Amino acid sequence: MLLGLGGLYGAANLISDQQAFAAPIQPPEFKVCGEAHDVETGDPLDVNCCPPVTDKIIDYKLPPVTKLRVRPPAHKVTKEYLAKYEEAMRRMRALDKDDPTDPRGFMQQANIHCAYCNGAHDQVGFKDLDLQVHECWLFFPFHRWYLYFYERILGKLIDDPNFTLPFWNWDNPKGMRMPKIFDNETSPLYDANRNQSNRPPAIIDLGLTGITDDVQKVVNNLTIMHSEMIRSVNSTIDFMGQPYKAGSLPRPGMGTSERGSHTAVHVWVGDPRNDPYHEDMGNFYSTGRDPLFYCHHSNVDRMWSIWRTLKTDVPKDLNEPDFLNASFLFYDENKQLVRVKVADCIDHTKMGYDYEKVDTPWLKYKPTKKAAKAKIQNLASNAQSAEGLFPLTLKKITRVLIPKSAKGKADEVLVLENIEYDTKKFIKFDVFVNDEDDNADELDRAEYAGTFAQVPHKTKNKKGKSNITLRLTELYDDIDVADDDTVVVTLIPRSNGEHVSIGDIKITPSPPRSG
């Protein structure tokens, strides 16, 4: 046992509700790591995701910071930087052949994501209850620590302690293409398992609408970023993800960034030729095999760092001990197995790095206010009453008439409850309020409320369940609900709607904006 918690939790093996045990998630026990499996057939995957085992574990202490290392945008890196990055990657890949058990090797690093995210680890003390770092409040801190050690390993391999990873600046129009440094087929940064239709100069579609107009793609992307970072966020957990504690069922719910731009990039890059799972980036178990994954998640991490600086009325920090004391295991650049805590990664500058300053045009990219108020009577004539409609399998575009909690421009949220979906499928749907135009490909409109999406992954029960909350306060200002006491919510399935059902939908007064 890496941690002596088996006795403490042993009697609680059958506890599985969300607040089952007020204790933080503990690091997995590498000695009892199991096989990760194919999400469809249940067959073992073609690689062993389990990490090397050692009895020597130390509690990691962040080294003192004398000078911040600055992560650059991938589309702006210098030739000198690229040469270092490629050499570090060559050496990391070489470890796969020279010493496959070296935890710093490329496949060993890729398997970290597979092991933590595809059912190889059970929660400590809870047999057959997956340890899953996605779709919960551990999403940002786990990946921050993951990148931190990955970056330090690359630096160690080229004897450059100041080396930094680049970030894929997909939230800025100048970075909305797959970075060219990853598209050179002779480079160690290249991965053949990518969507060939989305190689440069294709512009990324963060909405995954399939729209072909490049200008519309860009404005959609900016609208999505503003929505998931500001407009639809009502509380700290709306952005960070739902609480996940010892004994909790995995995947209690994603934050806006995870289910939005994060998921879209994975799916957009994943290779559709690798049917049905779109390896590498299109599935959790294989995504770490693409060097672009780490560049993508560097920008995801940057989104967390930016969000914590935004001057909005939503608190930015979670102060619950069960969040701050959650912990993980990683191998560091010296092949030492270390235990790290969430609390030590909240401020990325204390970890010794920052991000190069670039424009963030989505900050003020609010949809244009509607020139005229929607005629709710006309909209209602094409909508169904929520009563008796749910649970709803989202096989087609559905319009639902929802009563508000108060008339006019109230401070309210839209709550979609008990969203149940097949975890082995890519799931996505969008949400609009009082949408008259019915132009589903254009997201830069006042009526766009938000999205739900998930990357396929393996779970033991193959079913995920989640709730999402979308803030409506700013949306109401933009569409002018006047004295209306109802709105029409439009649900637009983008992918595999037949594999997702929604238990209920309602509008409630905005809860207190606390962490």
Compute the C-alpha angle 67/71/72, nearest 5°.
130
Task: Please state, in angstroms and rounded to a whole number, the distance separating the CA atoms of residues 508 and 199.
Answer: 43
| Cis check: omega of the bond before 361, within 30 degrees of 0 | no
Q: Does the active-site annotation cover 75?
A: no
Q: Which of 37, 75, 266, 348 is catalytic?
A: 266
79-98 and 106-117 helices, crossing angle to 10°? 80
Q: Which of 75, 226, 262, 296 is catalytic?
A: 262
Task: Please state, in angstroms and rounded to a whole number, the distance separating the CA atoms of residues 138 and 132.
Answer: 9
Task: Please state, in angstroms and rounded to a whole number, the distance separating the CA atoms of residues 355 and 166.
Answer: 9
Task: Please state, in angstroms and rounded to a whole number, the distance separating the CA atoms of residues 117 and 423.
Answer: 12
Closest by CA to 6, choosing from 29, 37, 38, 24, is 29
Task: State the residue for tokens 């749910």.
Answer: 390
Task: State the residue for tokens 């995954």.
Answer: 208
Report helix, strand or coil for 328.
strand
Q: Does the active-site annotation cover 134?
A: yes
* CA-based max dimension of the chain: 71
- Is 27 in contact with 58 (CB distance < 8 Å)? no
- Residue 135 dihedral angles phi and psi, to the nearest 5°: 55, 40
Q: Which of 226, 296, 297, 348 is catalytic?
A: 297
Q: Does the active-site annotation cover 284?
A: yes
Question: 12 exposed, middle or buried (CB, 10 Å; 0-12, 13-18, 19+)?
Answer: middle
Q: Which of 143, 278, 348, 499 is catalytic?
A: 143
Task: Please state, in angstroms and rounded to a whole number, the distance separating the CA atoms of residues 472 and 481.
Answer: 11
Q: Does the active-site annotation cover 296?
A: no
Residue 203, strand partner residues = 177
Q: For residue 350, what are the contacts with CB-CB under 8 A and spacing of at least 6?
A: 62, 65, 344
Q: Does the active-site annotation cover 499?
A: no
Q: Does the active-site annotation cover 262?
A: yes
Q: Does the active-site annotation cover 37?
A: no
Question: 314 exposed, middle or buried (CB, 10 Å; 0-12, 13-18, 19+)?
Answer: middle
Q: Which of 134, 226, 296, 499 is catalytic?
A: 134
Q: Which of 126, 149, 239, 284 is catalytic?
A: 284
Q: Which of 21, 30, 106, 113 is catalytic?
A: 113
Task: Please state, in angstroms and rounded to a whole number, the distance separating the CA atoms of residues 422 and 426.
Answer: 8
Q: For residue 377, what are the contacts with CB-CB under 8 A and spacing of at least 6?
A: none
Catalytic residues: 113, 134, 143, 262, 266, 284, 297
